[in-house]
Structure 1
Amino acid sequence: MSSTEFGLGAPPRTATAAEFVAAQASPQFQELRNRLRRFVFPMTALFLAWYVAYVLLGAYAHDFMAHKVIGNINVGLLLGAGQFVSTFVITALYVRFAGRELDPRAAALRAELEGGRA
């Protein structure tokens, strides 16, 4: 059974290699890639710096990391939990960014390729 028998319409057209190369060279694709890089590279650098700082503090600042904040909860435990929190925050920021900035542009490029207008 084909997809048209299920009422799904014709399957999307597969673009040729030349069309993919042309799409990759297009200003729309370059803008999509630049927007992705402007988000991913700084966010990655920020997270890695935060992670390295945590590791270095754990290795060399024992007294600071062992400083008790509330009861048996110390600075090291709070900073370690902060690693998890920052991971979830970065993920949420990326999902929001991708939904607003990347996905619509990628969908337009895909539609153009599948529609044969590349």
Structure 2
Amino acid sequence: MSESTADIAETGDIDYVAVQESAPFRELKKTQRSFVFPLSVAFLIWYFIYVLLSSFASDFMAQKVWGDITVGLLFGLGQFVTTFAITTWYVSYANRKLDPKAVAIREELEAAEEAAK
């Protein structure tokens, strides 16, 4: 990110375009996308399976599992459980992998901005 640091030193302002084009920022985006995109695709597939089964396999979804609990109800509740699990997983991932990289970028920018004053 030395290019963006030099831009700050010369102008006194942060060149956000240079920051976005820097290797550390590109690595941060790559790390975030490598988690978010595959998980989003997996969740959408899971969701569409639920919707399609609800629409076209109503007999299957109406099968009772225990008392008045049906397969469809379990799949529907599974959507909520999956959403909370993905959220928890992402927060953990972000805390471990994304936040340290973002903090390093921010600290370098803040140090360069201080030096420019």
Runs of 4+ in 1 over 6 A off after TM superposition: none
Q: Whole-Å Cα distance in 2 between the matches of residues 115 and 24 of structure 1?
A: 17
Q: Whole-Å Cα distance in 2 between the matches of residues 110 and 91 of structure 1?
A: 25
What's the offset of the Cα at 1:76? 0.2
Q: 1:80 aligned to 68, 76, 82, which one?
A: 76
The size of the alignment, in residue pairs, is: 102
CA offset digits 1:48-89 (Å, max 9, x no partner):
110011000000101000000001100000000000000011
Q: Whole-Å Cα distance in 1 between the matches of residues 59 and 30 of structure 2?
A: 43
What's the offset of the Cα at 1:44? 0.5
> What are structure 2's unaligned runs of at least 5 residues?
1-11
Q: Whole-Å Cα distance in 2 between the matches of residues 54 and 25 of structure 1?
A: 40
TM-score by length of 2: 0.83
Identity of aligned residues (%): 54
Q: Whole-Å Cα distance in 2 between the matches of residues 16 and 49 of structure 1?
A: 45
What's the offset of the Cα at 1:17? 4.5
RMSD: 1.3
2:88 corresponds to 1:96:
no
Matches within 5 A, 1:1-118: 16-18=13-15, 20-116=16-112
Of Structure 1 and Structure 2, the greater helix share is in 2
Q: Whole-Å Cα distance in 1 between the matches of residues 21 and 67 of structure 2?
A: 59
What's the offset of the Cα at 1:22? 1.9
Q: Whole-Å Cα distance in 1 between the matches of residues 81 and 110 of structure 2?
A: 40
TM-score by length of 1: 0.82
